Structure 1
Amino acid sequence: MRTAVAAFSCWMALLGLGMMPPPFQPSPSPGVAPADTMRVSIATGKVLTTMLPETVGETTVERYRLVEGPPFSGVARRSLVWPAADADPGTYDLVLVPAVESPADTLVVQVQVETDG
């Protein structure tokens, strides 16, 4: 019985490792940004705190929802925060949508992390 439990535990651990999301990395190349793109810059080791727009596309937004972003980033209503302490220099795309039933528009916040100093 113990062998079966140990084997099951190892199997679940291996499955869990395969399902871990990859670390959030800078975009490989900036390319063409979507129409609703906000661009901000911060120095490495700093904390990004920025207000998000009141509208995206033709939608008035009271609250956003973060769809894709780095660890420890978050949004409260229209305020975005990301402590970029361990971020490598580069451009990161954080993807947000209006926090409504079926959002039609997407906001991309392009964050340029630059070396401090």
Structure 2
Amino acid sequence: MTSDNPLNDHLDDDDYPAYTMGRAAEMLGTTPAFLRALGEARLITPLRSEGGHRRYSRYQLRIAARARELVDKGTPIEAACRIIILEDQLEEAQRINAAYRRAAGESADRVEPESA
């Protein structure tokens, strides 16, 4: 394969819908019904192949794995979905906060102290 092969771009893309429902369920050690339930709860929205079959990305599989972890501990699926959404929102807020802190630190470094 050469570097200009479009497949190379998809291999590194966490959002590329590379996995069929059956393969995704197998990788997660769960059932297709569990993945459908996550879709019905709108935690993940799989893309569809040209034939209409659900396809999942690596990012979606990580989310589904977290949901399975919570459900396996006895958390109802609706609550597990809400927890994951809140975790994702917290992570994003922390990322933004860190970026603001870096920017504020860089701004403070550029301000020269007044001479006495």
Instruction: Report if TM-score (shorter chain) is over 0.5.
Output: no
Structure-1-length-normalised TM-score: 0.22
Q: Greater CA radius of gyration, 1 or 2?
A: 2
- Structure having the higher strand fraction is 1
Highest RCO, 1 vs 2 (Cα 8 Å, sep ≥ 6): 1
- Structure having the higher helix fraction is 2
